[in-house]
A and B are shown apart, each in its own frame.
Chain A
């Protein structure tokens, strides 16, 4: 594969990645409406909690690696070049601040209402990871649209 072909392949995969990450984050948030919408029916379900945990770990893994691990090293290097790494660093900062704000919100809520550890972890984890993934996807989509 020539250098230009590799660049074009990385471009296609990069566009696809930003779309997949955005949709994944939206599905993730939408899934939480079930958890918080019908608490008595879902919160104690080990399957549902396990599914949430697996999704969180998957999203963190995608954010950390950029995905497409089966692609060749040369294409992955282009996919995760310095502009993608800059997007990732900015997204991680967004995730950090979203996590802290969620922690503060849960702390304040616990002063007025009973919040279990499970609920607190679920809320903070959902907001922190979801915000980071959406931030990365949005930055990458915007960068691909320029020009």
Chain B
């Protein structure tokens, strides 16, 4: 069974009213990276996942989870 990384980035970002560019600026990555993570195309490094979690004042576990397809 295939596993993939699901995330709540878009929901958290939209809840705060941030654009992808604003989140990218807070994390220190490109908008494209945020975009591809949100769409499940790109799996971020641990460092970036931690920085994203820090930006949202959440834990990595609250933002990312492993789901089975």
Question: Are A143 and B22 in contact (CB-based, < 8 A)?
Answer: no
Q: How many residues of A contact B (CB 8 A)?
A: 21
Is the beta-carbon distance between B29 and A82 smaller than 8 angstroms?
A: yes
Interface of A, secondary structure class, is helix
CA distance A140 to B39 in the complex (A): 14
B65 contacts A by Cβ under 8 Å:
no
For the side of the interface on B, what is the size category?
Answer: 20 to 34
Provide the bound-state CA to CA distance between A7 and B35, in Å.
13
B41 within 8 A of A: yes
Q: A7-B24, A8-B21, A11-B30 are in contact. List 17 more A-B contacts (CB 8 A).
A: A3-B25, A4-B21, A4-B25, A7-B25, A10-B30, A11-B32, A78-B28, A82-B33, A82-B48, A83-B36, A84-B33, A86-B42, A143-B35, A144-B35, A146-B36, A147-B35, A147-B38
29 CB contacts below 8 A, A to B, read A3-B26, A4-B21, A7-B25, A7-B30, A7-B31, A8-B31, A11-B21, A78-B24, A78-B28, A78-B29, A79-B30, A81-B30, A82-B29, A82-B33, A82-B45, A83-B29, A83-B32, A83-B33, A83-B36, A83-B42, A84-B33, A86-B42, A143-B36, A143-B41, A144-B35, A146-B36, A146-B39, A146-B41, A147-B35
